[in-house]
Amino acid sequence: MKFEELTEKEWELIEPLLPPPAPTGRPRADDKKTLNAILYVLTTGCRWMDMPGEYGSYVTTWRRLKRWEEEGVWDIILQDKAHPPHAPNVRLSVRLVLPQVGRRGRGDAIPLMR
């Protein structure tokens, strides 16, 4: 499946829904770059370690995916109430959910919707 990075319009809708960075400690990896990396892996089906280096560390990306899942960030992003009713929300929902179809049971897919 061909991968396309988030558009500026999509990012403007998603950014305010993400948890703020911790006030102390090491600065976290760029949220937009990390989200694009997550979408890249979920869309293409590549192994985490094979994602392009331009997105940063695959370990950081995987950990962020897990943390956002545990914190319910994906549920917030995918809720209909989170965005005005127009195409970017639908497009993002499809991009997040479709790569998971048929992969459960392999042990490598993290369900993003409950």
Residue 68: domain span: 29-100
Say if 8 falls within a structural domain: no
Cα separation, 31 vs 72, in Å, equals 16
**Tens of pLDDT, residues 55-83:** 999 999 999 999 998 998 888 887 754 45
- Domain-embedded: residue 86: yes
Domain annotation covers residue 106: no
Question: Is position 44 within any domain?
Answer: yes
Flag residues of the chain having pLDDT under 70: 1, 80-114
Q: Return the pLDDT at 102.
A: 42
Residues contacting 31, CB < 8 A, separation 6+: 15, 18
Spatial distance between the Cα atoms of 49 and 86, rounded to a whole number of angstroms? 34
* pLDDT at position 96: 58
Q: What is the pTM of this model?
A: 0.73
The answer for residues whose C-beta is within 8 angstroms of residue 47's C-beta and 6 or more apart is 41
**φ and ψ of 72, to 5 deg:** 80, 15
